[in-house]
Amino acid sequence: DVKVTQSSRYLVKRTGEKVFLECVQDMDHENMFWYRQDPGLGLRLIYFSYDVKMKEKGDIPEGYSVSREKKERFSLILESASTNQTSMYLCASSLPPTVNEQFFGPGTRLTVL
């Protein structure tokens, strides 16, 4: 059974903290994605990666960075968390090209106090 796992289901952090959200997939997919989901705004793409050590900005990269040191793992980093980054974060992976279906993880609900 194919899987995308995210390190935490719920996370509470304080303003200014550095936050790491981890995503691991076991499908040997080249493409990986990070989204945030907010009520009334749908899913918005933060960053994506086509391969190890590659990264591309999505629509809302400000305040975030990513790391892809291994093919199966894609990390989202909040360098200095702020309250407006309270959200649901979803990770996904797919085979190339990008038009293939994406497989999603269960999400991490991050609250920044």
Partner 1 sequence: AQKVTQAQTEISVVEKEDVTLDCVYETRDTTYYLFWYKQPPSGELVFLIRRNSFDEQNEISGRYSWNFQKSTSSFNFTITASQVVDSAVYFCALIDRDDKIIFGKGTRLHILP
By CB under 8 A, name the binding residues for partner 1: 33, 35, 40-45, 48, 58-59, 88, 90, 92, 97-107
One-letter amino acid at 36 equals R
Pick from 27, 31, 14, 23: which is nearest to 90 by CA? 23
- The smaller minimum CB distance to partner 1, of residues 14 and 57, is found at 57
Nearer to partner 1, 13 or 104 (CB): 104
Shortest CB 111 distance to partner 1, Å: 16
The residue type of 103 is F
* Residue 74 C-beta: closest distance to partner 1, Å: 16
Taking the complex as a whole, the smallest distance from the CB of residue 14 to partner 1 amounts, in Å, to 24
Distance in Å, CB of 92 to partner 1, minimum: 7
Choose between 69 and 99: whose C-beta lies nearer to partner 1. Answer: 99
Closest CB to partner 1 among 84 and 99?
99
Kindly give, in sequence order, each residue whose CB lies less than 8 Å from that of residue 92, ignoring residues fewer than 6 positions away.
4, 32, 33, 35, 102, 103, 104, 105
CA 51 → CA 43, 70, 79, 98, distances in Å?
A: 22, 9, 23, 12
